[in-house]
Amino acid sequence: MFPGWMQIALVVLLIVLLFGRGKISELMGDVAKGITSFRKGLKDASDTPDLKSVEDKSDTEATPKPEKTGDKADA
């Protein structure tokens, strides 16, 4: 049920005829740039500290806790 080598060659030939070699090489270059950017992003993300823990620390220090007055007249 798998396609044979002749069928794969025919599909590749049709793609080259439809898009041309220049367009395909340009597309592959864009894909390579995307993969490189993705890998760089993963590397940068592993080098930086966890942003969630940094935000949690700054939120607890910056926001004062509300005072409980015990008066029911305010409600």
pLDDT for residue 27:
85
Quick check: 73 pLDDT over 90?
no
Which ranges of the chain would DSSP assign to H, the alpha helix?
A: 5-47, 51-62
Question: What does the DSSP 8-state code read for residue 57?
Answer: H
Q: What is the mean pLDDT of residues 15-20?
A: 85
Quick check: 61 pLDDT over 70?
no
pLDDT for residue 9:
93
Per-residue pLDDT reduced to its tens digit, 21-58: 888 888 889 999 999 999 998 888 777 665 555 555 55
